[in-house]
Structure 1
Amino acid sequence: MSFLKEMLPRAFRMSGRCMSSLLRCVDSRWSDVILHNELKTLDEMPGPSAAGFIWDLLFRRGLTRLHQLQVEGRRQYGPMWKAKFGPILTVHVAEPELIEQVLRQEGQHPMRSDLSSWKDYRQLRGHGYGLLTAEGEEWQNVRSVLAKHMLRPKSVESYDGTLNSVVDDLIEKLKLRKRENSDGRINDISAEFYRFGLEGISSVLFESRIGCLDPVIPVETERFIQSINSMFVMTLLTMAMPAWLHRLFPKPWDTFCQSWDYLFHFAKLQIDQRLKEESERMARGEKIEGRYLTYYLSQAGMSMKSVYSNVTELLLAGVDTISSTLSWSLYELSRHPEIQNELRAEVLSALNGRIIAKASDVTAMPLMKAVIKEILRLYPVIPGNARVIPDKDIKVGGYLIPRNTLITLCHYATSHDSKQFSEPEEFIPHRWLSRSEGSHPYASIPFGVGKRSCIGRRIAELEVYLALSRILVHFTVEPAEENDRVNPMTRTLLVPEREINLRFIER
């Protein structure tokens, strides 16, 4: 009130135009005061007891069902609730309007949740931070370098030749695998697509192949794949365990560190080989095109410590996206043959007699894009993202969220919300071709939004488009068994809980 008593007499002595402007300012200041007083605190936010949450997390549902806990939490507590695990308090946000409110207040250097075990490992071994672990200006600098070559459409299109050579090998590998069974059955298709995804991102990063699709996979490459799997499995466990427990139960932490050791070792070998070849070419006076990311990173003024960390993390970033999206796409298309046939017809029409798609062909494949959007809605690779706003309190859904609070954005819950999508559990890609279904733009954001959105999105999407179009040209895909339902599970990322087995019939 003292603010009003001071300012209003001055306002009446001013001209009408100035007074009007000032009154708008007064109204804004007064509204903020009222709004702030009306905001609820975290103490008033609903949520399970600490013991109840730990019981649900570890025993009733388990860490592999974190995506389902989102849906149950929204149903039981509403669009916002809090949960405490040990010393960590998390605010869960499970409505697109509220997710938008969070993301619009995240500031110049958005922060994800603290991948504490990842950072602890890097500090232990003296490694640098990469794009997935860095924060603040360090993250911004790396992001700026990579965005030029991973987010600009024209830059990404230049990779279609490289990626198509990997697709060539994938098709041959699928033909070889289907001949192992008389009915064309390929078991555990996700494993094959995992190797394909890793080979693709490696070919982009290193301009060389690492043998993931060879008839006999090199021992080092197979160990690298196993290390990725082991690291992701151990990530949730090591983050849930306090540091002092590592001494009592050392195996999870030791396995986690050993997995990361080999990931860094493998990436360093590839980087050093790539840079040695570039140096030799420069010594011979040859022109260096510098189109590939390892070269760009090393020429961007980064220390080699930073280059090793960033490339190691980039190798991880796209592999699961590609493997998961392709696996679930063929799984759903095999169960919906009418959509598979329609998509195949679209691909053949766009190719106009060719069998190999280019990046420019995708613009003539709206159903292809819709299928991938629907797969990522049903099976978001990252079921929940997180934010920490370090420099200010924010207002979300009528609550005042103090700075440094961990906020979980429940993407799985919003993309499975019947208020946003009719028949949310059904595979209906045509919903994305129609404007009749008015879902909120933040209801399904599998790659994130804004500065912290997935930097490898365009390359991953292109690799999926090229692979899926070629698979449909060469094969009809059917379920290996009738009514063979596969559900997702959380393993840091969302993955199939068991093998996806399909029949590939050559056309």
Structure 2
Amino acid sequence: MFSLLQTYLLFFFSVIILISFKWIKFRSKTKKNLPPSPPKLPIIGNLHQLGSIPHHSLRALSEKHGPLMLMHFGSVPMLVASSAEAAKEIMKTHDLKFANRPKIRIPDTIIYGSSDITFSPYGEHWRQAKSIAVIHLLNSQRVQSFREVRENEIGVMINTITQSHDSLIDLSELIFLHVNNIVCRVTLGRSYQGLKFNELLENFVNVLGALCVGNFIPRLSWIDRLSGLEDRASKVAKEFDEFLEGVVEEHLDKRRKEGDKKDADQDFVDILLDIQRDDAIGFALQRDTIKAIILDVFAAGTDTTYASLVWSISELIRHPRVMKKLQQEVAEVAQRRHMIYENDLEKMEYLKATIKETLRLYPPLPLLIPRESMQDVKLMEYDIPAGTQTIVNAWAIGRDPTLWEEPDEFRPERFLNGSIDYKGLHFELLPFGAGRRGCPGIQFAVVMYELVLANVIYKFNLSLPNGAEGKDLDMSVKNSITLHKKSPLLVTATSRF
């Protein structure tokens, strides 16, 4: 018979074995198979590895650690996707689970608590705001209704370039001015010009793209105050709110004096005020939400379209063969008419290929807008915890040598005999994102892009100052949320006809 001591020992070891099995089982269930991570530093994590041009730095890291990396920006886990397969998993297979936006301080400050479409967290407010944009503002019929505005402004731009009489012009500034005029007239009802207005928009974009330390390391948020970032954001918010408030009041005053506009004459502010008055969507459309949506469409429509046009024309100057081929196409379609019109664009396959190639090499938002996982998810065999912020490096995907032959070469022909497009169905080309959080204004932006590019190339031969060749053109990028060419595009424009 067992002694009392032996009985106690047997019981003790049995309990130990049972606890050990339970612990092993628990560990096997809770241990996460996380994506590979670069080594991190205390407190700041991997923030120091972002570098001055984050989409470049992140691609270099992905080449070492893989197309799906888990980094840590301060205390914030950040999933970085750098392949078409990873992007598809996030934006299609698990789109709903990654449909949220993280809480980001600067958009919260300057865009009415992130009550717009782009930065709004996933939920009923975002669904209603996006539905307003898709159904009432950016549908095909509405975009088409502003055709006269676009063609009129482009006609003015052509005349301005013609009157330069072969002298040096800042084509970057001129394109910005006329793209901005189109967007202002469509969204706000009239053009707004002047140095103060241009600076306001530039400050908005610069602040939006600035690194906010407090987002990632709350205990160091004093750095954002010390650097002046918080004050700059507050100033931009105040100035833009005063401007937009004035626009809304101007529209309301006209309604009181002249009555409602006809549908064909309405701009976006008119449409939103109608929705608010009629309660047409079963959703209380607040004044700040109206201003947030307008700011979204206005700022994004101007900044991204203007940036992409500058990249296209710069690459065409650098590649005379491509320029000549595109000029031949637009000339054949135009038949020596005064300008290219919108119904001509559908016949221009090489123009469309040129634009796709530009968007491949220079996606307007190279890292898109961050997402956030709303629940635990299995992604490419890795476990991604809920609350993980996620960025997709669209710039790296567009230059992936496993997807593109000679990926750093500007060669529009690669798009002539294929079906790849930029509308969110092909994950090797993602300039506007995809899935629920994809850009709803693709058609609105692209028709401006096509029309401006076609007309500039049709009407003018462009050359660099002082006899410089295309290969000498500075193509370095500016560190911003939008991918901008760092130096302005200075050219001499000679009429072709």
TM-score (norm 2): 0.82
Q: Does 1:244 align with 2:221?
A: yes
Alpha-carbon shift at residue 446 of structure 1 (Å): 0.4
Alpha-carbon shift at residue 121 of structure 1 (Å): 4.9
2:31 and 2:314 map into 1 onto residues whose CA distance is 45
What SS does structure 2 have at the residue aligned with 1:300? helix
Alpha-carbon shift at residue 249 of structure 1 (Å): 0.5
2:402 and 2:98 map into 1 onto residues whose CA distance is 32
**Match of residue 41 from structure 1:** 32
**Match of residue 90 from structure 1:** 78
Q: Where in structure 2 are the equivalents of 1:135-214 lying within 5 Å?
A: 135=121, 136-176=123-163, 178-179=164-165, 184-187=167-170, 189-211=171-193
1:423 and 1:52 map into 2 onto residues whose CA distance is 39
**Match of residue 99 from structure 2:** 110
The answer as to whether partners of 1:370 and 1:430 remain within 8 angstroms in 2 is yes
1:128 and 1:93 map into 2 onto residues whose CA distance is 24
Deviations 1:43-86 (A, max 9, x none): x432222229969754x763x31010121022110111111111
Q: Does 1:295 align with 2:280?
A: no
Q: Which amino acid aligns with 2:267?
A: Y
1:310 and 1:109 map into 2 onto residues whose CA distance is 22
The answer as to whether partners of 1:150 and 1:455 remain within 8 angstroms in 2 is no
1:297 and 1:338 map into 2 onto residues whose CA distance is 46
- Aligned CA distance change for structure 1 residues 172 and 265 (closer, same or farther; 3 Å): farther
**Match of residue 477 from structure 1:** 462
1:424 and 1:445 map into 2 onto residues whose CA distance is 15
Alpha-carbon shift at residue 108 of structure 1 (Å): 8.4
- Aligned CA distance change for structure 1 residues 463 and 248 (closer, same or farther; 3 Å): closer
What SS does structure 2 have at the residue aligned with 1:91? strand
- Aligned CA distance change for structure 1 residues 456 and 48 (closer, same or farther; 3 Å): same
- Aligned CA distance change for structure 1 residues 438 and 383 (closer, same or farther; 3 Å): closer
**Match of residue 422 from structure 1:** 405
Deviations 1:150-175 (A, max 9, x none): 44333312211111122122223334
2:80 and 2:179 map into 1 onto residues whose CA distance is 32
- Aligned CA distance change for structure 1 residues 95 and 103 (closer, same or farther; 3 Å): same
Alpha-carbon shift at residue 41 of structure 1 (Å): 2.7
Q: Which amino acid aligns with 2:188?
A: F
The answer as to whether partners of 2:420 and 2:426 remain within 8 angstroms in 1 is no
Alpha-carbon shift at residue 87 of structure 1 (Å): 1.0
- Aligned CA distance change for structure 1 residues 287 and 318 (closer, same or farther; 3 Å): closer
- Aligned CA distance change for structure 1 residues 260 and 437 (closer, same or farther; 3 Å): closer
Q: Does 1:498 align with 2:487?
A: yes
1:40 and 1:152 map into 2 onto residues whose CA distance is 47
Q: Which amino acid aligns with 2:293?
A: N
Q: What stretches of structure 2 of length at least 5 have no aligned partner?
A: 1-27, 277-284
**Match of residue 373 from structure 2:** 389
1:479 and 1:41 map into 2 onto residues whose CA distance is 56
**Match of residue 263 from structure 1:** 240
What SS does structure 2 have at the residue aligned with 1:258? helix
Aligned partner of 1:70 among 52, 58, 63:
58
Aligned partner of 2:297 among 295, 314, 339:
314
What SS does structure 2 have at the residue aligned with 1:407? strand
The answer as to whether partners of 1:238 and 1:252 remain within 8 angstroms in 2 is no
- Aligned CA distance change for structure 1 residues 352 and 148 (closer, same or farther; 3 Å): farther
- Aligned CA distance change for structure 1 residues 506 and 88 (closer, same or farther; 3 Å): same
Identity %: 20
Alpha-carbon shift at residue 437 of structure 1 (Å): 9.2
Q: Does 1:273 align with 2:257?
A: no
Deviations 1:291-321 (A, max 9, x none): 4211111122322221122212222111121
**Match of residue 468 from structure 1:** 453
**Match of residue 80 from structure 1:** 68
**Match of residue 8 from structure 2:** none
The answer as to whether partners of 2:214 and 2:221 remain within 8 angstroms in 1 is no
2:336 and 2:215 map into 1 onto residues whose CA distance is 52
Q: Does 1:459 align with 2:449?
A: no
The answer as to whether partners of 1:224 and 1:266 remain within 8 angstroms in 2 is no
Alpha-carbon shift at residue 248 of structure 1 (Å): 5.5
2:441 and 2:313 map into 1 onto residues whose CA distance is 22
Deviations 1:12-44 (A, max 9, x none): xxxxxxxxxxxxxxxxxxxxxxxxx899835x4
Q: Which amino acid aligns with 1:72?
A: A
Alpha-carbon shift at residue 436 of structure 1 (Å): 10
What SS does structure 2 have at the residue aligned with 1:164? helix
What SS does structure 1 have at the residue aligned with 2:479? strand
Q: Does 1:431 align with 2:418?
A: no
2:102 and 2:341 map into 1 onto residues whose CA distance is 37
Deviations 1:436-493 (A, max 9, x none): 9999920111011122211222111111111111112221122332322312243122
Q: Does 1:133 align with 2:123?
A: no
What SS does structure 2 have at the residue aligned with 1:82? strand
- Aligned CA distance change for structure 1 residues 355 and 451 (closer, same or farther; 3 Å): farther
- Aligned CA distance change for structure 1 residues 186 and 357 (closer, same or farther; 3 Å): same
1:433 and 1:120 map into 2 onto residues whose CA distance is 44
- Aligned CA distance change for structure 1 residues 442 and 230 (closer, same or farther; 3 Å): closer
The answer as to whether partners of 1:205 and 1:294 remain within 8 angstroms in 2 is yes
1:306 and 1:207 map into 2 onto residues whose CA distance is 18
Alpha-carbon shift at residue 363 of structure 1 (Å): 0.9
- Aligned CA distance change for structure 1 residues 362 and 52 (closer, same or farther; 3 Å): farther
Provide the aligned length of Structure 1 versus Structure 2.
Answer: 451
- Aligned CA distance change for structure 1 residues 238 and 170 (closer, same or farther; 3 Å): farther
**Match of residue 396 from structure 2:** 413
Q: Which amino acid aligns with 2:451?
A: L
2:445 and 2:43 map into 1 onto residues whose CA distance is 35
- Aligned CA distance change for structure 1 residues 476 and 308 (closer, same or farther; 3 Å): same
The answer as to whether partners of 2:432 and 2:439 remain within 8 angstroms in 1 is yes
1:371 and 1:358 map into 2 onto residues whose CA distance is 18
1:426 and 1:396 map into 2 onto residues whose CA distance is 32
Alpha-carbon shift at residue 334 of structure 1 (Å): 0.8
Q: Does 1:224 align with 2:200?
A: yes
Alpha-carbon shift at residue 429 of structure 1 (Å): 0.7
Q: Which amino acid aligns with 1:275?
A: L
The answer as to whether partners of 1:160 and 1:358 remain within 8 angstroms in 2 is no
